[in-house]
Structure 1
Amino acid sequence: MSSNCKHQHTLHAVHSHCGWDNSLAPALSVAPGECVEFEIIDASGGQLSAESVAEDVTKFDFAKLNPVTGPIHVDGAEPGDALAVKLLHFQPSGWGWTAIIPGFGLLADQFPEPSLHHWKYDTGCAEPALFGNGAKVPLKPFTGTIGVAPAEPGLHSVVPPRTVGGNMDVRDVAVGSTLYLPVAVPGALFSVGDTHAAQGDGEVCGTAIESPMKVALQFELIKGADLPSPRLMTEGPVTRHLDAAGYQVTTGVGPDLWEGARDAVRYMIDWLCASYGMSADEAYMLCSVCGDLRLSEVVDQPNWIVSFYFPRVVLEG
């Protein structure tokens, strides 16, 4: 943890929950400036292990998916404030998984069967993770789900992102970044989970390199910030770890951004299968963990451009 922390705490995964609810009792209270190391369960909620097979993906209890550790009460936090969360450190486990879950993902209608890939990787994330015959995916740990309790009463699904954070899957919520979250209830009631070893922008198949980890965070308050939605500040460049060899890029062209995104990813899958002999399932999962969807143009009506960038370093580095 950072030497700038006033106090350091640990919160174990036994303090986890699978929905946002502002009536949950806090597992820990901290003051601004303090740090907490969170133990995070993988997105399956422990339903997958290194011995699991693709069929196990069809047996998920969806009520147990995407658990978050918390909540944390931050002293002095009030609605209208912003909670500043500094990402200090990740301690990855070295094991993770990527899956095609039937009915889930950008191309769910084209990939109706389950698929599961296990990853073993360097816990220091200094070396790329191997995928199949020759693909090497550079690693960048981050928190997929991170947020505070909503103002609305009751239990709310942890699956969709919200204006108070949640399942954002922004890969740059990584070491050195600071995430600013709108506080909606007294104490903020912060929770975090869904740690990933790597993910492309879009997480197109619905999963990244889902991996249990520990993550250390530091909390500060900005009084009266009145944020409409989460805001992120990064410490430096955010794509350099994949830029070294350039990109292969496919595009989707048309008046519908959703369909454009689907086309751009589908064309990349076709290219990977034709060029590298991958199965479509393999190509789809690989796109999800390292390729980036980009909104390239939205002004030249009636057609827009959605691009999919696949880093060549993964296959040629």
Structure 2
Amino acid sequence: MGHGLCHRTIHRHQQHLKWSKANAPVLTINSGETLTFDALDGSNGQITKSSSVDALDTFDVNLADPAYGPVYINDAAPGDVLKVEILSLELADWGWTAIMPDFGFLADEFPDPVLKIWDIDPSLPYVKFKDGIHIRKRPFLGIMGVAPGEEGEFSTIPPLETGGNLDCRYLTVGSTLYLPVRTPGALFSCGDGHTAQGDGEICGTAIETTLTATLRFTVCKNQPWVTAPQYQTPPLRELLSQEDVDEDKGEYAAMGIDSDLREASRKAARNLIEWLVSTKDLTRDEAYMLASVAGNLKMVEVVDMPNYAVAMSIPLNLFV
């Protein structure tokens, strides 16, 4: 095949649960080549389309967030940068969101397990949360990363400076991710498909789904400014249809003010949840999950010490 036209696939069994530069590559490619990854969801198949909330009782977090790979890219050396272009992302026909005990941004306030199974209709641009609430599909891979330079094994759950479980909703089709290479061949892996997510992913899960991703890899030399993940997104006009633009109704946001940035963020999340419960006829569990998959945490002010102002917003066009 010609340069850049390679269409090989990384399969579901080719996964690992720890980042390590000692992981043996499952494939070697050249810079400029394209690969497809067939990746199970972040539960690693522990939750299925027919699961009930009981599945959370036996959920083994040690099996969660598998990464698919690693892939060795020829000519990638420590100090280089791996450019990853996201060419296509194909969703499964279902997904899940959960509130898991002892996990999530407000875990102390939501002790009871909840599991929501979503129907993902490929013919629709949105998924239905419940009657009157539609969430636009914006698929992305939660995990994209390269092996750390340090010896040893690292969990795939927290993000690292070499990438990993970034859960960054901007890494959708048309976006490009730049990762600092720390070990020969870079050893790239990815996984943790999402149908949609808000900034913050506050309940701990997005709309988790199995995803088939096609990515292009290019080794970049002499980009010393990339010491942690950086990314570029396409213009919104390339991502949004005219229908999306026409349907924009602005957003509603609740603020949290505190001298601790995490507490300010928790207050903002809590205040948005209370607004959703009070005005949109949702239970607190529903509001927490909706804020996780569609709400956005942002720092609106960080200089007027000692207090930080954080807002959590939600697009009003969800409410149809």
Taking the aligned partners of 1:85 and 1:120, their CA distance within structure 2 comes to: 30
After TM superposition, the structure 1 = structure 2 runs for residues 1-317 of structure 1, keeping only pairs within 5 Å, are: 5-123=4-122, 126-226=124-224, 227-237=226-236, 244-315=248-319, 317=320
Aligned CA RMSD, in angstroms, stands at 1.6
Letter in 1 for 2:287: A
TM-score (norm 1): 0.95
Q: Which runs of 5+ in 2 are unaligned?
A: none
Deviation of 1:132 after TM superposition, in Å, equals 2.0
Taking the aligned partners of 2:149 and 2:212, their CA distance within structure 1 comes to: 28
Deviation of 1:51 after TM superposition, in Å, equals 1.2
Instruction: State the Cα deviation string for residues 154-193 of structure 1 (Å, max 9, x = none).
Output: 2210000000001001101110111000000000000000
Taking the aligned partners of 2:288 and 2:67, their CA distance within structure 1 comes to: 27
SS at match of 1:109: helix
Letter in 2 for 1:168: L
Deviation of 1:11 after TM superposition, in Å, equals 1.1
Letter in 2 for 1:94: D
Taking the aligned partners of 1:224 and 1:6, their CA distance within structure 2 comes to: 26
**Structure 1 moving runs of 4+ over 6 Å:** none
Instruction: Answer whether contact 1:200 1:290 (CA < 8 A) is retained.
Output: yes
Taking the aligned partners of 2:280 and 2:223, their CA distance within structure 1 comes to: 50
Taking the aligned partners of 1:6 and 1:194, their CA distance within structure 2 comes to: 25
Instruction: Answer whether contact 1:33 1:219 (CA < 8 A) is retained.
Output: yes
Deviation of 1:4 after TM superposition, in Å, equals 8.0
Instruction: Answer whether contact 1:89 1:175 (CA < 8 A) is retained.
Output: yes
Instruction: Answer whether contact 1:177 1:233 (CA < 8 A) is retained.
Output: yes
Taking the aligned partners of 1:4 and 1:30, their CA distance within structure 2 comes to: 11
Taking the aligned partners of 2:77 and 2:7, their CA distance within structure 1 comes to: 23
Aligned residues: 313
Taking the aligned partners of 1:258 and 1:219, their CA distance within structure 2 comes to: 36
Letter in 2 for 1:297: E
Structure 1 range deviating more: 61-70 or 77-86? 61-70
Letter in 1 for 2:270: R
Deviation of 1:203 after TM superposition, in Å, equals 0.3
Taking the aligned partners of 2:218 and 2:61, their CA distance within structure 1 comes to: 33
Instruction: State the Cα deviation string for residues 26-59 of structure 1 (Å, max 9, x = none).
Output: 0000001100000011010100001111121121
Taking the aligned partners of 1:277 and 1:38, their CA distance within structure 2 comes to: 40
